[in-house]
Amino acid sequence: MYRKLLLLGMTACLCGCIHPKYDRPALPVSPSWPQSAGNLTSTAAAPEAVNVKWREFFTDKGLQSVIDLALANNRDLRMATLNVEKVQALYRIQRAQQYPQLDASATGQLYRLPEKMSPTGRAYTSEQYNVGLGVTAWELDLFGRVRSLKKQALEQYLATEQARTASQISLVAAVADSYLALAADRDHLRLAQATLEAQQASYELIRHTRDAGIASDLDLRQVQSQVEAARAEIARYTGQVTLDENALDLLVGMPVAASLLPDGLGSDYALKDVAPGLPSEVLLRRPDILMAEHQLKATYANIGAARAAFFPRIALTGGGGVMSGRLSDLFEGNAGTWNFAPQIVMPIFDAGARRADLKVAKVDRDLAVAEYEKAIQSAFREVSDSLTLRTRLLEQQDAQQALVNALDETYRLSDARYKAGIDSYLSVLVAQRSLYSAQQALVSLRMARIANLVTLYKVLGGGA
């Protein structure tokens, strides 16, 4: 009894030495977001992105419907899901290696021995029948090699599951970006069409005044150039809207119904506010970081399997059943048979192959640590950049809106002075061009600000 306990204790100690303990690497980034990220106290009361589902963040019903279609039909997400199912099946295969495989077999053999080969000098037919249950080469996992391989397969499965989650988050954000880009370009197109209508009205007015001898040919040609420029802008944005629709169809995986497409951004586009939290809380919960950590844990399991290869491997093969020379006597009481064939393989010399395998496993672990730290650093930069842009873009949008208001008043006054005969049409032309450019820039800034919020939501780990 004491010998058995001593043997079990020694085996546990050996396994503890064989299998390295996983220690999460320290965060290779600052414990707080940089000062350039702006005022973070304004969102302190908001929920963290990981706790906000995408339906709660994107409140537009049309966008929600489009995202639903993408989640059901996008081919990249479908492949990620199938990869999860594949790796899950591989894990089940590896896990099954821990248990003996029991097989049932039934065989029959008949052969004729010719006269010349028969010891009696007479030809005869020999029969043999077997029915049994058996275990083939079941490894006694005393040093944890099979358990390490099972753990490695489990970590790979968990990493693949996190990769699928990361793909879903990226898809949700990509669909939202494409949807919003289409809305912004439709605003650009609508603005260009409104400008063309205003220019055409001015053209007709100046043409009549020219015919009456009040306006000059120069005024007419100047306004005509503006009409043609507006037509070129309409053609450009019409093509861009078509490209946006094609991009959205590709992301969704099917044509999106016109009723689900946006008319424009409007004056604002409401998105739920989220808090950035602390780097240690946010980054370690991002799916891509979790994926890298599971891959790192898998390399630790590989080291355990490589170390276990230095120790003996014990495999058991055995079975039992019945055997008879006649089928009718197969299940008689004296027909029982059994076999037991244990095998021990002790590594002695392999020209350094096992040591090389262990070295490879350790290098793979060091590479996985570097990949894990790089993923955290990249995520930290993404969040920091998005936080910095959030404040700056809002300031730019407010300033741009003030500029549009001022230029709109400038255009109104210039047009009134021209009609009163005080100024030439050139001042109206300059004011109109400046106003149009400022209005287009305002749409672009509004789009950039909303897209930044979507990016911030994604890089903070939301979207699942």
Here the CATH number for the domain that contains residue 246 is 1.20.1600.10
257 pLDDT band, cuts 50/70/90, is very high
453: pLDDT strictly greater than 60 = yes
Q: What does the pLDDT average to over 427-439?
A: 85
Say if residue 229 is in the same domain as residue 301.
yes
Within-domain flag for 6: no
59: nearest Cα among 298, 271, 375, 261: 271
Return the higher-pLDDT residue of 216 and 355: 355
Q: Across residues 103-124, what is the average pLDDT?
A: 79
- Co-location of 111 and 217 in the same domain: no
- Distance between CA atoms of residues 166 and 287, nearest Å: 5
Among the residue ranges 137-141, 296-300, 313-317, 347-351, the one predicted with the least confidence is: 137-141
Q: What is the pLDDT of residue 295?
A: 95
pLDDT for 56 beyond 70: yes
Residue 41's closest CA among 276, 309, 318, 303?
276
Residue 464 lies in a domain: no
pLDDT attached to residue 442 = 93
Q: What pLDDT is stored for residue 38 in this prediction?
A: 60
When comparing pLDDT for 339 and 262, which is higher?
262
Averaged pLDDT, 204-220: 71
Whether 218 and 90 map to the same domain: the answer is yes
Segment 239-259 mean pLDDT: 94
Evaluate if residue 394 carries a pLDDT over 90. Answer: no
* Residues 291 and 165 reside in one and the same domain: yes
Report whether 446 contacts 265 (CB < 8 A): yes
Task: Quickly state the pLDDT bin for 133 (edges 50, 70, 90).
Answer: confident
pLDDT at 416 over 60: yes
Task: Classify residue 189: in a domain, yes or no.
Answer: yes
- The tokens describing 147, both together, are 């358990």
- Give the pLDDT of residue 411: 86
Mean pLDDT of 357-386: 92
pLDDT at site 105: 82
Is the residue at 2 inside a domain?
A: no
Is the pLDDT confidence value at 14 over 60? no
Query: Which whole number is the average pLDDT over 99-128?
Result: 79
Asked whether residue 13 is domain-assigned, the answer is: no
For residue 7, what pLDDT is reported?
45
pTM score, whole prediction? 0.82
- 180 in the same domain as 125: no
Task: Among 297, 321, 346, give the residue marking a domain's end.
Answer: 346
Question: Are residues 243 and 302 both part of a single domain?
Answer: yes
CB atoms within 10 A of CB 36: 11
Which of 288, 320, 346 is a domain's end point?
A: 346
3 within domain boundaries: no
Same domain, 30 and 91: yes
| Res. 329: pLDDT tops 70 | no
pLDDT at 270: 67
Same domain, 121 and 262: no
Residue with more model confidence, 125 or 402: 402
Does the pLDDT value for residue 87 go beyond 50? yes
pLDDT band at 342 (very low <50, low <70, confident <90, very high): confident
Domain closes at, from 323, 346, 369: 346
- Give the chain's mean pLDDT: 84
Flag whether pLDDT at 214 surpasses 70. Answer: no
Q: How confident is the model at residue 46 (pLDDT cuts 50, 70, 90)?
A: confident
Is residue 419 included in any domain, yes or no? yes
Q: Are residues 301 and 361 in the same domain?
A: yes
* Position 14 in a domain: no
Residue bearing the bigger pLDDT, 442 or 334: 442
Please give the tally of structural domains in the chain. Answer: 2
Range of the domain at 28: 19-98+142-310+350-459
Angle (CA) 93-99-104 rounded to 5° is 95
Q: Are residues 211 and 341 in the same domain?
A: no
| Residue 105: CATH number of its domain | 2.20.200.10
Residue 266: per-residue pLDDT: 66
- 304 plus 228 within the same structural domain: yes
Residues 163, 63, single domain; the answer is yes
- For the cut 70, the answer to whether the pLDDT of residue 215 exceeds it is no
